[in-house]
Structure 1
Amino acid sequence: MNFTETAWKVFNQSINDYHITDNVEVQVKNPYPKDSLEHLLYAKNWIDTVQWHLEDIIRDENIDPTEALKLKRTIDSSNQKRTDLVEFIDSWFLQKYREISPNTDAKINSETPAWAVDRLSILALKVYHMNLEAHRESASDEHRRNCSLKLNVLMEQQKDLSEAIDQLLFDIENGNIKMKVYKQMKMYNDESLNPILYQNVKNA
């Protein structure tokens, strides 16, 4: 089993485990050893899965404004955790390929392995939920038909993205692409970088 086959299996396990309760407040019970890549992939997708449902909830037109603000804060925190974990997965890859010496003509990819994996994790969620819609008995035949067509596109995308990720890792392993990582340096959650936050601290 290659890397993307393993990742896809772990992502779907996480999604199915979440939907046992389908509750955004349920704490993750990661079944993989803490130091394993599978543990990181499961944790990554669990964050994505919870956030997917938080995004659904906050779009309820009848939601209480106070509850909506609370959810927005939770989503912001989730986004930061997602970014941190993606960067941690990239660190895992950096460690794995630390002995690789890039070729003199090695190129730099515009996307790191972990950010490509981030896209694959989100794609697993799209496939899961589009499949539900394609078979939802309460929906119209036209709705199910349209969702089935969209599901086919998503599955083709999964095949293409998986192939691209495996090729990227192959090229890194063989020195054809440099493994180089930049931190996202998100500013809006940082009290020292967001003007609204550091003005509030100053005026407190």
Structure 2
Amino acid sequence: MFTQVCNKIFNQSIAAYHEHNDVHQAISNPYEKSSIEHLLFLKNWIDTVQWHLEDIIRDPKIDPVEALGIKRWIDRSNQERTDVVEYIDSYFLGQYSKTVPAADAAINTESPAWAIDRLSILALKIYHMQEEATRADATPEHRAACQRKLDILLEQREDLGTAIETLLADIAAGKKFMKVYKQMKMYNDPSLNPVLYKTEK
């Protein structure tokens, strides 16, 4: 099943990041660049680095200049994340390019890749909640509360995986069809963000 492949690669990416646990470390993607596995690893790596940037920027003692630099880093990361999601959707468009949708085929509220985006984030939540549920210096109450949350996250991943597999099967059977709308982000575009284009004059 495709989502099992996703979960395996996401866990692999998270484990690779935490070997050094450094937001500045270079990615070491083990998969062929033209493969879907490469895109899945890259997608989760971006998410993992951003997860830790979000932790760092919440330090109440952080230097404001450093915080601004991290905020801009997060903005770039969000754009990269969106780009990779669109590449993954392009893969699915290729996979189902010969499928003829039925006359009554419906479109889903989100594309397969955006659902896989949520699966990647869930992998990170599960990893870090597992850490908290087993943290030796935490109270028993803290560990128990985190274990309950972890159980819910694991159930959520199971349900999301089932939903994604159903969506892919429906697209393959022509019961649903997909479109890819390029994300028209405005804040990073100097021609669309008024703060940026006004400063250029």
Which residue identity does 2:96 align to in structure 1?
Y
State the partner residue of 1:93: 92
d(CA) in 2 for partners of 1:148, 1:87: 34
> Pairwise mapping of residues 96-115 of structure 1 onto structure 2 (< 5 A)?
96-115=95-114
> Pairwise mapping of residues 122-133 of structure 1 onto structure 2 (< 5 A)?
122-133=121-132
Deviation, structure 1 residue 201: 1.4
Per the normalisation by structure 2, the TM-score is: 0.99
- Would you say 1:158 and 2:161 are equivalent positions? no
Which residue identity does 1:164 align to in structure 2?
A
**1:106-147 alpha-carbon deviations (Å, 9 max, x no partner):** 000000000000000000000000000000011100000000
State the partner residue of 1:21: 20
Deviation, structure 1 residue 179: 1.5
Deviation, structure 1 residue 182: 1.1
**1:167-191 alpha-carbon deviations (Å, 9 max, x no partner):** 0000000000012111110100000
> Pairwise mapping of residues 1-204 of structure 1 onto structure 2 (< 5 A)?
2-202=1-201
d(CA) in 1 for partners of 2:193, 2:93: 30
Deviation, structure 1 residue 196: 0.3
**Number of aligned residues:** 201
Per the normalisation by structure 1, the TM-score is: 0.98
- List gaps (5 residues or longer) in structure 2: none
Deviation, structure 1 residue 44: 0.2
Instruction: Give the match's secondary structure for 2:200.
Output: helix
Q: CA RMSD in A?
A: 0.5
Identity among equivalent positions (%) equals: 62
- List gaps (5 residues or longer) in structure 1: none
d(CA) in 2 for partners of 1:183, 1:160: 27
Runs (4 or more) in structure 1 with deviation over 2 Å come to none
